[in-house]
Every structure is written in C-alpha cells, then in structure tokens.
Structure 1
Amino acid sequence: MNKINVLIVDDSAFMRKLISDFLKEDSRIEIVGTARNGLDALSKIKKLRPDVITMDVEMPEMNGIEALKRIMDEQPLPVVMLSSTTKEGAENTFAAMQHGAVDFIQKPSGSISMDLHIIKEEIVNKVLNASKANLKSLQKPINTQKTPTTKVLDYSKIEPSIRNSEKKLLCIGTSTGGPRALQQVLTRIPKDYNAPILIVQHMPPGFTKSLANRLDSLCDINVKEAENGEFLTAGTAYIAPGGFHLKVKRIGTSLAIHIDDSEIRNGHRPSVDVMFESVSNIKDVRKIAVIMTGMGADGSKGLKKLKETGQVFSIAESKETSIVFGMPKAAIETNLVDRVVPLDEIAETVLSLT
C-alpha cells in the first residue's frame, strides 16, 4: 500500500516535532519533511513532492495564507491549515478556505499548543481525508457575488405538494469543504425566499459566528449563528453554533430554535443527524433536506428518519463537485435521495421547489 507523504509547515520546532510524532503513529502516513515558514515550504514542495501539507496560518517571512495561494496557483495540493481560536484566527481560516484549503484544525491553546495531543486523532483523520480530496473542485473559483438564480430547470416530476406548500423548512448539512459550498449555494438564494434555512456545518466553537457573519455580508438573505429560543423567520439562515446541536421545537403556531450540548453523535456536535431527527418531529411542514460535501456519514440516519415521518424532498451533492464525497455518498446509498446534482445546481433545485 502506498503511504501518504506529508510535509509539515510550522514556525515552531516544537509543533513540527509534535505533529510529526502524531502522524508517524499511523502506518498509512510518511513524513517526508518539515518547513519553518511559507517560503521554506515552497522550496521543499518541489523537492519532496508531498501528497498532503499541514500548514500553520501565522508564520514569519511568508504566512500560511500567502503560501497556500502560491501552492494552489503553481502546484495544487491538499492543504490542511492549523489555526488559533482568536477572531483573527477564524477570519484567516475562512480566507484559507476561500483560497483552496481542504480543511482546518483548531489549535487548542494558541500558536504553540502544549496540549495538542487532545486533537491527535483529528489531525490524523483530516490528513487521511485530505489525501482523497477533489482538487479540481478546490481549484474552481468560488462564487462571491449575490446572484439569485435565473436558470430554469425541468422539475415537473417533483411532488406538487412540496413545490407549492406555504410552510417549508430548508435543512442543510455539510462538513469538509462546507464553507465554500455554503457560499456557493446561499449567495444564490433571493432575499424573499419563503422558508427558514437550518444549517449544520461541522465546526468547533469560535468559528461558526465568524462563518455566519462572513456569509451574511455576501448574501441577500440574512445569515446568523443560531440562538436558543429565537423564532424561525423565512429568508433567514441559522447556522448551528460550534459545540452545540441545533434542534427545532414548536411554540404555539411558530417554530423556534433549541440549542443544547447533549451527547455527541457521529463524533460531531453539531450533528446533521440530530438536526434532521428534530425536524422530522415537526408536522404540517414540508422539508427540503440537502447533504453536501463532507467526510463521514453524518446525515444519512437522520434522512431515514425524515423520510419515515414526513414529506421530504432530499438533495445530495454529486461526486464531481464534492471536496470529500463521504456524506453525500452515504446519503445516496440509503436510496432515499431524490436528486443528485452538482454544487452549482443545488440552489436552482431548491428554488424550483418554491
């Protein structure tokens, strides 16, 4: 079996050693070298030809963002960024995703994290998954304009009651590659969209609010981090806060957000399954379920529950555009997905149901 060759880039010798030691424990991974900054990394990429790069964001001489831009322009490779939890760190993380990073890892306690061992499994898993990433999708320019769709597609076979119902919920689940995918979809939803939008993006605490604010600045609809107890409003997207599950409850004739820190599911909190299962308990509301790029199988069990208990139209992102085809693939394998479409047709498909 061919091993995954990894280059580790960090200005801290301690962090380079720690990350190297963690990755070496997995027999599928080979550390081919380390670099102390972006410039050093660029020179070593040519010599060492790694399959995956782990890259610190904040480094002297050339930081991780600038190095990432050069890599994706000159010799595209899967890059996993390491970031701090500060506001600036979160903003840098989303800039990295914008420029083609596969995923990011949150350092537990700053640029030099003595407690990095607590996320050892996450580091290994994200490197392994990055090696399978769809580089063609990462290289495609991401939509940054507010562009309500004008494309007309043939959805005559869609159940009319779903297409015409006044009460709807749009539920979206995604993970690796999700911030890019969400931007592509949400910027194409017009501000008068007639349903609330619930979103689970696998992301740790400290990042989801920045993600929501960034998307809100780009979209015609409102995008915000979900708050416990707030009532759902059409034309607003609610992103589950990192570290908490996103659920829905009925209060009188209205629907409200319920946030809790109950048991982790599928290794995630928030979990797509938890959101879908909660929504399945809401009667007299038509649901549209969308599962996009991401590793693992989160969402497939919740989709089964949705289909058992209510009328749902389900959409999965195609393999051709998914950064990682894990979550959409698992959903498709349930045989409960109504449409499999490329990323740039998801918004059109959703809007055809209104």
Structure 2
Amino acid sequence: MSAASEPGGGGDRTRAVIVDDSRFMRTLIRSLLEEGGIEVVGEAKDGSAALETVREHDPDVVTMDIEMPTMNGLEAVDAIMDGHPTPVLMLSAHAEEDADVTFEALDRGAVDFVTKPGGEVTSSMPRVKKELVEKVESAARVDLSANARAATRERRGDAGGAGASGATVGSEAGSSATNAASETRPSSTGQSGTTDRPAPDTGAASTAEADSGRTYPDVGTLVVGASTGGPNVVERVLAGLPRAANLRVLVVQHMPEGFTSRFATRLDERSAYAVREAKSGERIEAGEARVAPGGTHLLATGDRSGRLKLELTDTEPIHGVRPAIDLTMASAVETVSDSLCGILLTGMGRDGVDGMERIDRGGGHTIAQDEATSAIFGMPRRAIETGCVDVVAPAEEIAENALRYFAEE
C-alpha cells in the first residue's frame, strides 16, 4: 500500500471493507463510516467471504468482527495476511473474554482494535462514530510491508543484540525527519500471521547479557507512550528491561476502557517487572510498572523514599485521547526527583510531543522510535522535529538505549 497523508490532508478517501456476520451491524458500521467520509467498497458476512472480498476490492483497511460462523475473525486475519496483506482493525465487544482474543488478533497481524458499537441508537453515537472513523483512518495508514523484513532480522539475530546503538539525533537525522512527507510506515511487530510469538524473554536475556558489569541507581523512572501499532512494541520494550535496572515504569497506551487491565497482565507475563493497571492513590517502587487505564488520565503526584504516588483523573481528553501521554510525562517532570526517561513509540497525531519536550527541558533523557519500525511515524516524527529527542532507535534497540542512560558508568 502506498504512503498516505493524514486524514484531512486532501488525499483520496479511505476505502474500507466491513466484515461481520450481523447484517444489522454491517449496516450500522457502514452508516457510521460513510457519514465520517470513509468509502465502504465491500462487505462480507464471515471470514471465508472476507478474503475474496478483500482480493476483489483491494481496500485500504478491513474492519473485522471476532465471532463469526465458518471462519472467525482470528482465522480471517491469518488468511488476509497470508493471501492479501491489508491493515485489519478488529471490532471487539466490550468484555473481558473478548480482550484476550483481541490481543491474539494483534499478535496475528491486526494493526489495532476498537470497541464494537452497540446496536441501539443513543446520545453517545456521535462519539462512537468519531472514534470508529479515526481508528479506521489511522489503521488504513499502517504499511505492512516491513513484516517480512522484521521477521528476517529476527532470524538473522539482528534484533535486540547487545551491541545495538540506536541513532543519536543530530542535524542530519532531524532534517530527515522533518522532510518526512507521510506518517505511513512499516509495522515493527514482525508477526508472521501465526499464533507463535517470539519468546518474551529473548530480548530480556540479550539485555541481561549486555548488562553484565553495569550498575544502576536505587531507582529510575521510565515513561512509555504509544498509540496505533504500539502494544507489541511496548511488550518488547518492557521485556528488554532487567529487574536489576531498578525502574519504575509508567505505560500510556491509547486503548479503550476494559482492555488495559488485560494488556497489563500480558506485560506482566512478558517482563521481569510487576505490571498492573494503575489505581488512584497507589504508590509504586523500583521493579514495578503501571498501565494507564483506558478512559482515564494517569498522573504522578508524589515521589518519596523511592516510591512514586499515582493519581487518576477523568478530566477532558487531550488531543482527543484519554489517557494522554502528554499529561503523564508532564506530571512526571514535575514530580520525579531521580533520573527520568521518556520513550515515544508509534502512533498518529502529536500526543506525547509536548511531554517529550518537557522531559528534555527538565534534564531527562528522550528516545523516539525510528521511522522504519514505526507502524505510523506521526508522534515520533513530530517529537524529533522539535529537536527534543536525544536518541532515535528501532523498536528492538529502545530498551537497550534506555538502560544505557540509567546505568552508572
């Protein structure tokens, strides 16, 4: 798929295929998308029909239901990625049991997900339409062409190597980022369309080996922000952090309410850190990580005896999102008394740019995901353009670069 500009940039309309076994739901989704300026070029009632429809219409994005007869959404993602790679946006019911399946879809190659709209017409429908249209526009701008390259790098052992350095931002790197004309960039997940995942401790093991001889302060604070294409990259970053680094980690991933708890559980299973969804008023210490709950801003409000106090707030969205990366990073700058590092990963828009600037002005360290491994190079590119980013690194080298900052020489 060719590079595309941001929504509203004057380019061609985004073309979508809707896959759902419910005719009513297909009609509702079509109506919401068309009202939002999306061109619906085809529909399918199950996964087996979806592949044929995708081949026929070659859309920019596919919206995919999960539970369908004949071939379900997970199997359909596999078939599409194998037969006609196209960005897939999963439509997931707002339920805990659907969260696991939704994350499995991301593992198989889906680029993002959104909560499935309810069948009844309510006052919240304008908000539902706005979210759905924005997610479709964002998903359509994910370029899947790097999946094979990422898998090749994995096989060659290039990923997560101890000698990974990352690129320090200078005038040449900043110029390259400024001249980027598009936010559409390859996915960094490297998923091959199967249920097999790279062993989560592989990156951590590589980092641990590289960490031999390093010493760390008693506590350091890391804030990680991500949007579209981010969940698998966030997992990779946390998997690369050894417990010995003594970090307190705050994760802000743009994600609907009801899914961040399961996301935290996945991170906990895949890292050496104790990861949970954040609770208002709690304190975290070295070796712990917290994920901002969907629909709620996460703030750091106190730092005492190596423990960071957290608060949640439901104030207005920032940049149209809640939780907002900017608010968490800004609060960390005001609160954290030890070493502070901000990481900004893949995503469309500019959430996190102001936060990264604040961390930089406050004397902290800033790392942005590079263009080649970002599913969408919007947020990192904008941060790089400000000149506030210390290091630009591919997904597999971000943890290592953060560890270098925190390590005592």
Normalising by structure 2, we get a TM-score of: 0.79
Query: Paired residue for 1:261?
Result: 314
What are the equivalent positions in structure 2 for 1:160-239 lying under 5 Å apart? 165-239=217-291
What are the equivalent positions in structure 2 for 1:240-319 lying under 5 Å apart? 240-250=292-302, 252-253=304-305, 254-308=307-361, 310-319=362-371
1:63 paired residue among 68, 72, 93: 72
Query: Paired residue for 1:84?
Result: 93
Counterpart residue identity of residue 278, structure 2: A
Q: Tell me, yes or no, if structure 1 residue 133 matches structure 2 residue 142.
A: yes
Structure scoring higher RCO (CA < 8 A, sep ≥ 6) equals 2
Seen in structure 2, the aligned counterparts of structure 1 residues 336 and 186 have a Cα distance that, compared at 3 Å, is same
Which stretch of structure 1 is more off in the superposition, 251-260 or 185-194?
251-260
Given that 1:169 and 1:285 are in contact with CA atoms closer than 8 Å, whether structure 2 keeps it comes out as: yes
How many pairs were matched up? 342
Q: Distance in 1 between matches of 2:128 and 2:267?
A: 28
Q: Tell me, yes or no, if structure 1 residue 145 matches structure 2 residue 204.
A: no
3-state SS of 1:125 partner: helix
3-state SS of 2:223 partner: strand
Shift of 1:5: 2.1
Quote the sequence identity (%): 41
Q: Distance in 1 between matches of 2:120 and 2:111?
A: 22
Q: Tell me, yes or no, if structure 1 residue 105 matches structure 2 residue 114.
A: yes
Q: Distance in 1 between matches of 2:227 and 2:280?
A: 22
Superposed CA deviations along residues 261-297 of structure 1, whole A, max 9, x for unmatched, are: 1222111111100001101112531111000011111
Q: Distance in 1 between matches of 2:336 and 2:285?
A: 17
Shift of 1:114: 4.4
3-state SS of 2:244 partner: coil
3-state SS of 2:206 partner: coil
Seen in structure 2, the aligned counterparts of structure 1 residues 252 and 212 have a Cα distance that, compared at 3 Å, is closer
Which stretch of structure 1 is more off in the superposition, 274-283 or 17-26?
17-26
Shift of 1:347: 1.0
Seen in structure 2, the aligned counterparts of structure 1 residues 206 and 283 have a Cα distance that, compared at 3 Å, is closer
Counterpart residue identity of residue 106, structure 2: M
Given that 1:84 and 1:106 are in contact with CA atoms closer than 8 Å, whether structure 2 keeps it comes out as: yes
Q: Distance in 2 between matches of 1:257 and 1:44?
A: 48
Q: Distance in 2 between matches of 1:277 and 1:41?
A: 44
Q: Distance in 1 between matches of 2:61 and 2:52?
A: 15
Given that 1:100 and 1:138 are in contact with CA atoms closer than 8 Å, whether structure 2 keeps it comes out as: no
Shift of 1:3: 3.3
Superposed CA deviations along residues 135-192 of structure 1, whole A, max 9, x for unmatched, are: 12267136342122536999xxxxxxxx965442011001111111111111121222
Q: Please tell me the root mean square deviation across aligned C-alpha atoms, in Å.
A: 2.2
Seen in structure 2, the aligned counterparts of structure 1 residues 113 and 35 have a Cα distance that, compared at 3 Å, is farther
Q: Distance in 1 between matches of 2:282 and 2:53?
A: 51
Q: Distance in 2 between matches of 1:5 and 1:251?
A: 49
Q: Distance in 2 between matches of 1:272 and 1:219?
A: 22
Counterpart residue identity of residue 77, structure 1: T
Query: Paired residue for 1:320?
Result: 372
Shift of 1:342: 0.4
Seen in structure 2, the aligned counterparts of structure 1 residues 26 and 71 have a Cα distance that, compared at 3 Å, is same
3-state SS of 1:189 partner: coil
Shift of 1:252: 4.3
Q: Distance in 2 between matches of 1:232 and 1:143?
A: 29
Superposed CA deviations along residues 236-265 of structure 1, whole A, max 9, x for unmatched, are: 111011111111122643421112212221
1:25 paired residue among 14, 18, 35: 35
Counterpart residue identity of residue 113, structure 2: F
Query: Paired residue for 1:123?
Result: 132
Given that 1:317 and 1:343 are in contact with CA atoms closer than 8 Å, whether structure 2 keeps it comes out as: yes
Q: Distance in 2 between matches of 1:352 and 1:150?
A: 14
1:93 paired residue among 78, 89, 102: 102
Counterpart residue identity of residue 229, structure 1: G
Given that 2:303 and 2:336 are in contact with CA atoms closer than 8 Å, whether structure 1 keeps it comes out as: no
Q: Tell me, yes or no, if structure 1 residue 36 matches structure 2 residue 45.
A: yes
Normalising by structure 1, we get a TM-score of: 0.90
Q: Distance in 2 between matches of 1:185 and 1:144?
A: 13
User: For structure 1, which runs of at least 5 residues remain unmatched after alignment?
Assistant: 155-162
Which stretch of structure 1 is more off in the superposition, 169-178 or 136-145?
136-145
Q: Distance in 2 between matches of 1:328 and 1:64?
A: 31
Counterpart residue identity of residue 25, structure 1: E
Q: Distance in 2 between matches of 1:46 and 1:199?
A: 38
Q: Tell me, yes or no, if structure 1 residue 11 matches structure 2 residue 25.
A: no
Given that 1:101 and 1:138 are in contact with CA atoms closer than 8 Å, whether structure 2 keeps it comes out as: no
3-state SS of 2:106 partner: helix
Given that 1:54 and 1:81 are in contact with CA atoms closer than 8 Å, whether structure 2 keeps it comes out as: yes
